[in-house]
Amino acid sequence: ATPEPLAVRVSGARGPELEAQGLDVTFRGAGYVELLADPADLVWLGEHGYLWAPLQRDLFSGARTGSREGNLDFQYHTYDEMLAELQRLVADHPAICRLYDIGDCESRHWSWDNYAESYDVWALRISDHPDYDEAEPCIVYDGRHHAREPVATEIVLAVARHFCENYGSDPAITDLVDGSEIWCVPMINADGHQWVEDVDPWWRKTLWDYDQDHHVDSGEGIDPNRNYDWHWSGGYWSDETYGGPAPWSAREVAAMRGLHEQQRPSINPSYHSYGEVILYPFGYGVDPEPAVTEVAGEYASRVGYVSQQSTTAHGSSKDWLYGTSGCVSFTVETADEFIPSGATMEAVVAQLLPGSLWLTERLHGPSIQGVVVDSVIGIPLAATIHIPEIQEVYGNGELWDMRTEAATGFFCRICPATSQTLTLEVDADGYEPKRVEVTTGGSAPTQVEIELVPDSFQRGILAGIVSNASAGGTPLPGATIDVRPGGPQLLSGPDGAYIGYVDPGSYTVVATHPSFAPDSALDVPILVGETTEVDFALDDILPPEIDGTTDYANTSDDVGPYEIETTIFDYSGLSEAALAYRMAGGTFLEVPLEPGLGDRYQAEIPGQPHGSHVEYYIRACDPGGNAASDPPDAPLTLYDFYVLPEVTVYETGIEEGAPGWSHYVVTGGFVDQWHLSTQRNHTPLGTMSWKCGDLGSGDYANLCDAGLETPEFVPALDSELRFWHWIDAEVSGSYPGYAYDGGIVEASVAGGPWEQIFPEGGYPYLCREGGTPGPFPAGTPLYSGTEDWQEARFDLSAFSDPLRLRFRFGSDGAATQEGWYIDDLLILGLQAPSDVDAGARSDRAALHLALTPSLVRRGGETQIRYQVPRAGEIALQLFDPTGRCLWRQRLDVAPGLGSLRCPLRDRGARPMSSGIYLLRLRAPGGEETGTRLIVFE
């Protein structure tokens, strides 16, 4: 690490003059600046007559902690944790979230002998239609241009969490997501972040090897917030504000340029630290339009900051974004130090969050919004818009014309609340320019649609309808129309219609669609200025897709009915769909499937007496006569279940003192506090329960790893564990769903190793390691939080050999709470009929597939743990985010718990890229289960 610089205040100085000398200016006040100075800097200041004094506060109180996360307090996200959180948001809120790798950090293209990471720049898109652009205003929240400013990452993550987790429950948030395009980029400079964590908390710049010696040297790197192409100036390579050898030479900045140019945001808060000030353009003293200062001022008042014009004269993101696109962009200097303590950072985030959400609301305030479209066929246009009342008045005449979003033709420019008349001079290649006057102001957007008339271009129009011949000629949306050779590719809309411009000539036009045979039209003439209409009728050639059929479990319910659901999809609809079932190998009976929501269908099998063996399958047919069944080879293979009487395997209310139970320290160096307690009880009229914690209501100790073990028992067919528990354990206040302390349940088969088992619905928390970690690895699912008595249920159907269970509680070295209570344990099963081995389910048992850990670094491997109901061949498949199978593995296994190690490489032995993958297990008999695997860099 480099020597620690001294934070000083220099009186009577201005930021630009000291920054020009290469000094590390950290804050510009009224008549003074603050900077980080090494001994040579202090000598220079004295020689040039500057008066300085050490700052009386620490600018890095959240750094140098010596915790597992290097130089930062544990409340800050690492790169891996940030990526995992973004991926969790996508996985938990798939209807409104998509995650994009928008570009590389320098480490993707360069290697150093003292830095081994390689990172990407990630952006989260939040929208009610996240897969495509809509004609809606856009906001981009970004953070972490500068490495030593980690609070910026935290506020952007907090914004993303709030939008995702309150969508659908908070009407205001739901309206904002439905009507806006929201992008969150929490960590632009991931290389620099990692250098701050591992080596030097004072590091500001990216990692960039000036002398190309493949070694990270002090002073190297590019200041990413001086690398944008607006009044850019490089400076000297070792300056803290070095703008790089050329604009966009920092790959991270080039990634942001691509995002902004594609999405055309109207507002962009860029988070930094420190100063508690909102800095608006321009940094060289030229005034922006009033809308910029108005929004910056209102935002500042909402978060308790002040707003003022920036003095960063060269290459800043806000100057470039405002100057080139009219986006209201400003720097948010958070906190009053670079790296506040973890607790202070959380308070800063809480202070900024409401006002930051308001910025998205401001998209729907006074502004001018609209679309530019072709007047003949209505397609959106990539156009430029010149507003002389703005471009020719503000910004010293340097402001660029606005550009519409290419995919939608949409534009938005934020306006003041005061009324004003603006002239829009609109132009696009191949169209006659148009001049429109609009009046803005008030409290809502001024909406306008601008149609441009094509000029004397030498093209024709191809149009038509694509229909579904197998469904009586109904419209077929989503068909692709290829104009060959060399023509455009068009797409049919919801009404089956398509339209587009084509150069004159003779073409072959081909219409294609998944599940349909293609249709072609030969020698289609396109004439200048004329419309050629070609319709297509496609025949459905693939059978319906059947998936998600209820895999009904063995049951003790002899009353019924037994509800069976399935998903059936076919582009042409269904002419027939039925559930076929039989008893004891007899004749099949059929029940029509009734449609439900979406593509779900449902039917019922009547209740059957104990001892019954029920078999069933699904069949469906589309109007084109294409038929399918599930299972695919039915009736050779069938779904099946037994109706059997229930038996009790083991039961205790702990009132008798739980004979045969034992407890102990699981891992040496930790603590066991399990004991019989009368403090809390669940049994009616009872008094006793097991507790892990101190006597009475006392808190558990630091660094517990306490195991509470049941007597051994032999499971029945389809056994289930039920117990009641009460818990009060430490969770994370900053990261919902994460906990530092808590409990898990484990199983040991025939005296073998202990393996974690999983409840119905899963554990509610994941373990997050603190400064002094407990016994559970990060990411371990567990019970935690503060919950009154609640019942937990665990499927033990995969077990047949003698079994013991263990309740295991772990705590870290920080805060403690009351603990974990266990009471009223019950293990039930089914009485096996004579033709069924009690140790092997005949039906499709509930399977379990777990990963250790579920977050895995790219190029590594993971341990896959599974439990299966019977011996035989299992098939494991890995699918990428698009659904493509990357590899398969088959092996013979014994029933019960098992594990294998899996290298994370595709069929070409290449390391898998970052993303969310699906692991799917097919067990002997055809049962399937799956789980998500998150791969990070």
pLDDT the model gives residue 848:
54
The one-letter code for the residue type at 208 is: W
The closest alpha carbon to 181, from 266, 253, 86, 298, belongs to 266
Q: Is 784 left (phi over 0), alpha (psi -120 to 50) or beta?
A: beta
pLDDT the model gives residue 930:
64
The total number of residues written for the chain in this structure: 937
> Which whole-number Å values give the CA distances from 84 to 94, 918, 933, in the listed order?
15, 15, 10
| Distance, CA of 184 to CA of 155 (rounded, Å) | 10
C-beta separation of 122 from 144 below 8 A? no
pLDDT the model gives residue 916:
64
Burial of 758: CB neighbours in 10 Å, binned 0-12, 13-18, 19+:
middle
| Distance, CA of 359 to CA of 612 (rounded, Å) | 63
| Distance, CA of 664 to CA of 173 (rounded, Å) | 49
Give 188's contacts (C-beta < 8 A, 6+ positions apart): 121, 142, 143, 144, 145, 224, 252, 253, 255, 256
Strands (E), 377-469: 384-386, 402-403, 410-414, 420-427, 434-440, 445-452, 460-468
Specify the DSSP element, H or E, that contains 102.
strand 97-104
The closest alpha carbon to 550, from 932, 927, 930, belongs to 927
pLDDT the model gives residue 931:
65
508 - beta bridge partners?
A: 484
| Distance, CA of 417 to CA of 295 (rounded, Å) | 10
Average pLDDT of adjacent 10-residue blocks, the chain of 937 residues: 74 78 81 85 88 86 58 86 91 89 94 91 94 92 96 97 95 96 98 91 93 93 97 92 95 96 96 94 94 96 94 94 97 93 91 96 97 91 96 94 93 96 95 95 95 86 94 90 93 88 95 92 94 95 87 90 91 92 93 84 94 95 92 90 93 89 96 96 94 97 97 92 97 83 95 91 85 90 94 90 96 96 95 58 45 55 66 70 59 70 56 67 62 61
Handedness of CA 279, 281, 285, 291 (dihedral sign): negative
| Distance, CA of 15 to CA of 35 (rounded, Å) | 9
| Distance, CA of 292 to CA of 206 (rounded, Å) | 29
Specify the DSSP element, H or E, that contains 807.
strand 803-810
> Which whole-number Å values give the CA distances from 261 to 56, 145, 232, 321, 521, in the listed order?
43, 18, 18, 9, 38
The closest alpha carbon to 401, from 418, 382, 380, belongs to 382
- For residue 613, give both structure tokens: 């063996």
DSSP string, 735-784: STTEESSEEEEEEEETT--EEEE-BTT--SEEE---SS--SSPTT-EEB-
SS3 label, residue 930:
strand
> Judging by DSSP bridges, how do beta strands 717-728 and 705-709 pair with one another?
unpaired
Dihedral pair phi/psi, residue 750, rounded to 5°: 50, 40
Mark 156-174 as b/e (b = at least 16 C-beta within 10 Å): bbbbbbbbbbbbeeeeebb
> Judging by DSSP bridges, how do beta strands 63-67 and 70-72 pair with one another?
antiparallel
Handedness of CA 723, 724, 730, 731 (dihedral sign): positive
| Distance, CA of 327 to CA of 284 (rounded, Å) | 18
∠ CA 478-484-486, nearest 5°, is 105
DSSP string, 479-542: -EEEEETT--EEE--TTSEEEEEE-SEEEEEEEE-TTB--EEEEEEEE-TT-EEE--EEEPB-S
∠ CA 679-821-774, nearest 5°, is 120
